[in-house]
Structure 1
Amino acid sequence: MVKTAIILAAGLGSRLKERTIDKPKGFVEVGGIPIVERSVQRLIDNGIERIVIGTGYLAEFYERLATRYPQILCIPNDRYRDSGSMRTLYGLREAVDENFLLLESDLLYDPLCLGNLIADPREDIVLASGTTHSEDEVYIETDEYGMLRAVSKRPEELRSIDAELVGISKISKETYRMMCEAAEREMRDQPKWDYEYALVAVSAHKPIPVKKIEKLAWCEIDTEEHLERAAAEIYPRIAGESGKGPFSIQRNVLLNPGPATTTDTVKQAQVVPDICPREREFGDLMEWIAEQLTLFVAPKKDYETVLFGGSGTAAVESVISSVVGDGKLLIISNGAYGERMAEIAEVYRVDHEVLASSPVLPVSPDAIEAAIRQSEGKITHAAVVHNETTSGVLNDIEAIAEICVRYNVQLIVDAMSSYGAIPIDMAAHDISYVVASSNKNLQGMAGIGFVVANRERLTKLRTHTPKSYYLDLYKQYEYLKRTHQLRFTPPVQTLYALEQAIVETQIEGIEQRYRRYSESWAVLIEGIERLGLECLVPTEYHSRIITAIKEPDLPGYDFERMHDFLYERGITIYPGKIGKIASFRIANIGAIDKTDIERFLQVLSEYFTSLK
């Protein structure tokens, strides 16, 4: 785990003119805080224990900052006036002998990206974004594998413009050594050589991954125009500024299985100028959202995402009513949401059979194979819930997909409670359709259901006779591709919130989000055992996202009263949904962490104490 950061802060900042006559540009304020101090605070928040600042112009400002933050060590570059950023970085080599985060001092950025870089298992990463139109871009060219190939401020010098350099990287000890060796060669003739060119030099000998987050909220502050953009556009958007943006919102902890607790930035993303959803600008937004939702689980060259205004159930209904045609559907059910798929099939008179199994255990792949084999080729499609929301049981979709491939059966996965947290690879397992929604692990607002579909199988649906008007999967897909619009009026503000939620998911990363959820789950399991409660599902089968808990046998206990006791204290829980078993569910998803679970357990303990 990276525990050290380097901040390059030697520059004159002359393009900010009067603002940097009496202070370094790192001390220009946005939101009432010097931009470099905000970086220091965010680094410490993310577990960084040592911050080495390469100083130069008005170095005494950083020395004074170090008196307030004991994590800071300042090392001056005495040649800052006639040298580049690599000279400053080179001068720190005797003080840094470990992997580190590298930041420029004049950045305002979404702090979630720091945790993402730290958690990423790769030792070297260059953080990049899409186009910013800042007029001071450092463009990046990558190879076909997303590795750094070249950088330049002059786009004509690159074979392709694949991203823009943000100014935040994770650098391994070995890469730093190689950068310093390259600097010793190059700085003799190019004293103003910058660190990004040293990274390119190293990339000729070892791969340097570029992590691109298309719509990352960030800016470098080199000019007055940059500062205006930082204050007006970037500062209100950056996550982690709850209560400091345009407005403050009361935070409730939702432990129900969706909608989930959202960040203020997702909520605020809904406050946009009025726009007709038939405008090209809004069509571009929907196409971007659809593409990013695809990329979370599949390559865009073979898969497409179809958006619907509606709940996740609307998207499930679209698939079941649209894709089976004259075939037969095997519904694999071990909970209420498997049963719901069967009810949908009944309504649409889709030929189907139900393979029902225990609601507290994963479905058996052997039983699935037996059912498909016994159908003697009649079963053409199978549908399963990945993470059964009623119980938190995680079904093995990889094993199920392998069986479906063997028998030429198209697999439909209801990933409502797993998409965005548990990694899914549709291409690797030949999954035909994955269905999810905007308001669970994506941490967006409720109102968007979507289907990620294999394009070849999706386009073959054009010959199917529609069973639904609004939920016709192929027509919804074809219309967006042809007209750049949805067929019917979409929930405009919800889509803007989903855009922000996607960006925050990209910053955190699905694997890291699942680790965060899993940490909360571990605290939950320990706590409910300590309180004498019992899980319905054996822990080895838990998804670590939703947990079904048996109601306690205590005098005076009542679920509704317990719910109200928690609700009055800003915590929402949800009743159970497994037959006649008295239970309640806790979902540790959304913009919460283990401290929220600890607080829930404390309040729950207080409720139980009140019964005595």
Structure 2
Amino acid sequence: MAEFTALIVAAGRGVRMGARGQLTPKGMIALDGLPLVRASVMHLASRGIDRVRIVTGHLSEMYSREFSAVPGVELIHNPAYHATGSLRSLMTGLAGLEGPVMILESDIMYEPRALDPLMMGGSGLVLSGPTGAGDEVYVWTDADGRLKDMSKQADHRPEPHRGELVGICALAADHVAPFRAAADRLLAEKPKVDYEAGVVAFAADHPVDCPIIEDLAWAEVDDEQMLAHAREHVWPRASAGLIDPAARKAI
């Protein structure tokens, strides 16, 4: 089993969350008193991943209060978060890391089994079956299940997509340097590009496996409607074992 460092990209401004996003970074939105990123750190620990680097930006002081005294958690700030996309934040977090690296979005809730297909090493990203979330990223693979393309448009390619991007991927140790090189080339052309485009660019020359968990309970939290849906339909499974049911409380 690979000895991962986890990298959680948490620098975004959460504009679509409206008033809540102005006051709270999406990864620090709490359900039953537990912020999404804290739940992610706990899920990672359940799989033996206890080295975590969080890339902060918007309202970074909230992450400092939550994690500054947590062993194994390192905070890295992207000072240009307001003018860059998630790929630049990812590259900020990769600085000095040799891999293997487990990369996670900050604004997702998920069952911890979402991590399992990547635990043995290699580069890959986890897919799910249909979610109907309204902001899906569809993933296409070749016949061997390796990444070809991603898009928010289901008709982006003529062939059927394989599944939906969960927001969890991994880079093998020997793939970190080539990923950086591919990302640097892309950022030189598109400074505000998001990390998904960097993964696709990297996959053009390196194998990225795409295991799928058809019935995975997971959700991304981009706006209030998605948060309400996620709390009702995903959180009970994603938070199982993390919270004493008697202690649950409203958002």
Determine helix, strand or coil for the equivalent of 2:140: strand
State how far apart, in whole Å, the 2-side matches of 1:89 and 1:112 are. 23
Higher relative contact order (CA 8 A, sep 6+): 2
Query: Quick one: which amino acid aligns to residue 124 of structure 1?
Result: S
CA distance in 2, matches of 1:73, 1:239: 23
Look up the SS of the partner of 1:181 in the other structure.
helix
Change (3 A) 1:123 1:167: same
The Cα of 1:222 is off from its aligned counterpart by: 0.5
Contact preservation (8 Å) 2:29, 2:36: yes
Residue pair 1:111, 1:240 contacting (<8 A) in 2 also? no
In 2, the alpha carbon distance for the partners of 1:158 and 1:176 equals 28
TM-score by length of 1: 0.39
Distance 1:243 1:27, change over 3 A: closer
Give the AA of the match of 1:134.
A
1:57 aligns with 2:58: yes
Cα displacement string for residues 443-495 of structure 1 (whole angstroms, at most 9, x for unaligned residues): xxxxxxxxxxxxxxxxxxxxxxxxxxxxxxxxxxxxxxxxxxxxxxxxxxxxx
Q: Distance in 2 between matches of 1:146 and 1:128?
A: 11
Residues 220-252 of structure 1 deviation map (CA, whole Å, 9 limit, x = unaligned): 001111110111000122374377569xxxxxx
Q: How does 1:288-299 map to 2 (within 5 A)?
A: none
Structure 1: tracts of 5 or more residues without a match: 247-612
Q: Percent identity, aligned pairs only?
A: 35
Quick check: 1:151–1:158 contact (8 Å CA) kept in 2? no
Look up the match of 1:220: 220
Could you list the structure 1 runs, at least 4 aligned residues long, displaced by more than 4 angstroms after superposition. Answer: 242-246
Tell me the secondary structure at the aligned position of residue 238 of structure 2. coil
Instruction: Give the aligned partner of residue 249 of structure 2.
Output: none
Structure 1 distance, partners of 2:74, 2:188, is: 28
Which amino acid counterpart does residue 144 of structure 1 have in structure 2?
A
5 Å matches for 1:45-194? 45-118=46-119, 121-159=120-158, 160-194=160-194
- Cα distance per residue 1:308-356 (max 9 Å; x no partner): xxxxxxxxxxxxxxxxxxxxxxxxxxxxxxxxxxxxxxxxxxxxxxxxx
- The worse-fitting range, judged by mean Cα deviation, of 147-156 and 61-70 is 61-70
In structure 1, give the amino acid aligned to 2:187: M
Conservation of the 8 A alpha-carbon contact between 1:111 and 1:238: yes
Residue 206, structure 1, aligned to residue 193, structure 2: no
Partner of 1:234: 234
In the TM superposition, 1:361-376 aligns within 5 A as none
Residues 183 and 202, structure 2, Cα contact 8 Å, conserved in 1? no
1:8 and 1:55 in contact (8 A); partners too: yes
> 1:530 maps to which residue?
none
Contact in 1 for aligned 2:85/2:194 (Cα 8 Å): yes
SS of 2:148's equivalent in the other structure is strand
Q: Are 1:31 and 1:231, in contact at CA under 8 Å, matched by a contact in 2?
A: no
- 1:149 offset after TM fit, Å? 0.4
Distance 1:232 1:206 in 2: 39
Deviation (angstroms), 1:177? 1.8
Quote the residue 1:31 is aligned against: 32
Where do residues 516-555 of structure 1 align in structure 2 (5 Å cutoff)? Answer: none
Question: Deviation at 1:175?
Answer: 2.4
CA gap 1:114/1:44 in 2 versus in 1, 3 angstroms: same
Letter in 2 for 1:106: D
* SS class of match (1:151): strand
Paired residue secondary structure (1:201): helix
Deviation of the 1:86 alpha carbon: 0.8
What is the aligned partner in structure 1 of residue 17 from structure 2?
Answer: 16
Q: Are 1:235 and 1:245, in contact at CA under 8 Å, matched by a contact in 2?
A: no
Change (3 A) 1:239 1:28: closer
**TM superposition score normalised by structure 2:** 0.91
Matches within 5 A, 1:244-263: 244=244
